[in-house]
Amino acid sequence: MRRLLLLLCALLGLWACRNDGLEPAPGSSSANVEPPKDGTHELYSIRIEAALNPGIGDDIVFQEGGDGVWRAMHLPWRDGSSPEMFIPTVQFRGKRLLVAGEAVSPGQTPVSFASAFSFVVEAEDGSTASFPVDLNFPQINTELAVLRVSPDREITSKNTYVQADASLTSPRTTAGWWTPSKGRIEIRGRGNSTWLLPKKPYRIRFPEKFSPIGLRHTQARSWVILGQDMDKSLIRNALAWDMSRVLFNPADGYHDPLAILFTPCCEFVNLYMGNEYRGVYQFTDQLQRHEGRIFVDKLTQADGSASSLIEGGYIVEANIHGESAPVRFYSPQKNIQLDHKYPDEEDYDASQYEWIKNYIGQAEKVLYGSSYKDPSSGWRAWFDEKTLADYIIIKELAGDMDGYTSTWMYKRRGSPKIFFGPIWDVDKGWDNEIRTAGVSDKANSLMIYAGFKMPNFVSDDWFQRFWADETFRAFVNARWISRRDALISAIERGLDLYPALMPKAVEANYTVWPFYYQASTEAKMPAATYPEEIQRIRRITHQRAAVLDRLFAQ
């Protein structure tokens, strides 16, 4: 009967009868099985085999997700001029396999995996089915710039540079690339508590002044890459800098002409250390005196104590970590711990360090004097009210517990004012700190009182003294009301934009560094998932804004 049935089907030309299970099962080789004579199109497996693709180590095996996308991840560096090109091994059922309309021979034809694409299986009858494919490979993905550093030895010091080869490329700009042929770079560790964490930050020094990956605001040798190990969103500093661009905006014409309205740049990169993927890092400025950065007046050892020069320029940081003498000094009245950032200890005259220390002492004496609120002869004659107010608004909206322990300030020639800024180090903002600083309800308090004070945790520090001036509180409130919506909109844009720019990079980062884990004993555990952490920051922003509406108006 079976032979008779086959003969009858053949006579009638009904070859579709072979669908009764008589056809061979898919084979184990990458070649296509005999195509059916109907509309069948199936895909069974996708692999990138090491035997066919030099430089990948182990085979890359794709898995089909619940959304129908075939995904795989590959993290180690791959050498070669076209690392995005792979020869895939594909098992499918149909007449032929296509990519972007072109026929592909599995096990033979190179395919670009730089961006997501689809394998299309065409059936014998001309019908097709698409199978989306997505390889998460940070070196080749078109999301972020890629920085590869190959140091001569392990980087173990914050003080000693290590020579290294480096390459820097970007999918979004052809400007600011770096190749080893341009010269060797130097790299060392940086940071204080962040240097003790597994995902370490670094300072990079190029052999020449350089504007990396399209960051055209300055050309400089020194740059920083931040690991953001405590900040599981990876974007808290970026959000704070977005706020800074709203307030410290030169186009507004609002600030004193001598105010330096500098906000650090922000460019996320995938970092490779040699062949090892190290995760998502934040490429940004080194805080220093430099054109396009904190560009105060030049003051060197050769200038000595010349009266025409010694009043500027200076950069000072109130810093709980800080340095030792002569870089470290203390304010005369409140004993606030300060560091000389410029002039630096490699090129200064002792009279200059003494001058700015005494100047800060005079300003501090007025600040704590009985008539310090006087609008003309009080603290405003010494401290710039507008940069101070903007600094406070950003730190308070972020709810940054560390907001005042590290405070950057500068003094320029030609102005009696001490200016505040730039904004820096906000990875503890948005409820990312487990300590309370002695205030139980920090969510509903100003960080001026609920956060950590100026070092060494000085009682009634400068910011508390400023805030005791009711006229200043009204000034801050007016500035807050005028820019509130713009600040919240900037944060909302960042929360939408940054995760959408780098979903693959975020996934790869947390394959290397666990997401729901804190190596820091100070930072808070994040929400259960990355998207939930982003939403938590969004929710906290609106809650914090409502708190400031009330507290700034008091």
**Structure confidence at residue 34 (pLDDT):** 56
Q: Where do the domains of the chain lie?
A: 25-136, 301-551
**Structure confidence at residue 32 (pLDDT):** 55
**Structure confidence at residue 318 (pLDDT):** 96
**Structure confidence at residue 23 (pLDDT):** 36
The rounded distance, in Å, linking the Cα atoms of 429 and 39 is 57
**Structure confidence at residue 39 (pLDDT):** 78
Fold of 25-136: Immunoglobulin-like (2.60.40)
| Average pLDDT per block of 10 residues along the chain, 554 residues long | 39 36 38 61 96 96 97 97 97 96 97 97 95 98 97 96 98 95 98 93 97 93 98 98 98 98 97 98 97 98 97 96 91 96 97 98 98 97 98 98 95 98 97 90 95 93 98 98 98 98 98 95 96 98 98 96
The answer to whether 405 touches 454, Cβ cutoff 8 Å, is: yes
Coil, helix or strand at residue 266: coil
> From residue 452, how far is each of 170, 208, 317, 428, 439 by CA, in Å?
39, 39, 15, 12, 10
The answer to whether 540 touches 431, Cβ cutoff 8 Å, is: yes
pLDDT tens digits, 140-153: 999 999 999 999 99
**pTM higher than 0.95, yes or no?**
no
The answer to whether 284 touches 223, Cβ cutoff 8 Å, is: yes
Q: Would you state the structure tokens that stand for residue 421, as one six-digit string?
A: 């800024």
The rounded distance, in Å, linking the Cα atoms of 260 and 245 is 12
**Structure confidence at residue 33 (pLDDT):** 56
Length of the chain: 554
